[in-house]
Structure 1
């Protein structure tokens, strides 16, 4: 693994893993709020039980973070996992009019927390296409 890949995977993996760990055991009300927001980007999540959805999100983030942090996982697989994850987050960003300015691209104040997920999409792309 190259140093640049280790940096991309290490920092991003630690961030995503921590996010997933913090969501374990989230209360039903918190899971419902997260689910409602997630449904703006991926409407099918509304069909899940809120507690099941909360566990799904937590353990998905833990799995993606661990995948990025595990050196024996090929960078393309780790990048693809991160790419799918960041695509879901960006879908919420672009499909929620409150997240963007009137042009539908630039983030509003409310959208800043999701707009940064474009960096994860870029990191995923770098991991998938790098030839080192």
Structure 2
């Protein structure tokens, strides 16, 4: 397992962002948890079966765990990328299915959707981590 500054930068930025977001949701008020759950169940309907308080806790814990996995240098880069890809895929699906977030017939964000559209950068980072190729050393 070699060290790559580019991978380290991608993992540091995305992992720290997600970890911080998860920590910020540890004491999520019930109303906020219910609002997040409503958005999330558009992409994953089964999430509607949870109580909002449980959803909020599970969301917080999963973001903390994901952020930690992405940041941990002993976790292989492709595995961190796959975990990030699953998470960001859910965020992108939520953005695309939320009413009023995109212009009609487009993925371009409306002013209201700009904050959620940033989740595409997490998907891009995931792709970069998954498909990063190690440089082969030449024998002299």
TM-score range, shorter chain: over 0.9
Is 1:6 equivalent to 2:8 in the alignment? Answer: yes
Aligned with 1:27 (options 11, 26, 29): 29
Residue matched to 2:73 = 71
Q: How many residues align?
A: 132
Query: Which residues of structure 1 form unaligned runs of 5+?
Result: none
| Aligned-residue offset at 1:104 | 2.9
Which one has a bigger Cα radius of gyration?
A: 2
Cα deviation code 1:68-91 (max 9, x no counterpart): 110000001100111011000001
The residue number in structure 1 matching 2:97 is: 95
Asked if 2 retains the 8 angstrom alpha-carbon contact of 1:93 and 1:99, the reply is yes
Distance 2:66 2:112 in 1: 26
What secondary structure sits across from 1:39 in the alignment?
A: helix
Unaligned runs of 5+ in 2: 135-140
Offset from partner CA, 1:42-99 (integer Å, 9 cap, x none): 2211011111100111011101100111000000110011101100000111112311
Shift of 1:103: 2.0
Q: Secondary structure at the match of 1:4?
A: helix
The aligned counterpart of 2:138 is: none
Counterpart Cα distance in 2 of 1:97 and 1:24: 27
Correspondent of 1:17 among 16, 19, 28: 19
SS of structure 2 residue aligned to 1:118: helix
Give distance in 2, aligned partners of 1:39 and 1:127.
28
How far did 1:2 drift?
Answer: 0.2
| Counterpart Cα distance in 2 of 1:41 and 1:110 | 18
TM-score of the pair, normalised by structure 1: 0.96
Normalised by the length of structure 2, the TM-score is 0.91
Residue 55 of structure 1 corresponds to 57
- Partner-residue secondary structure (3-state), 2:115: helix
SS at match of 1:71: coil
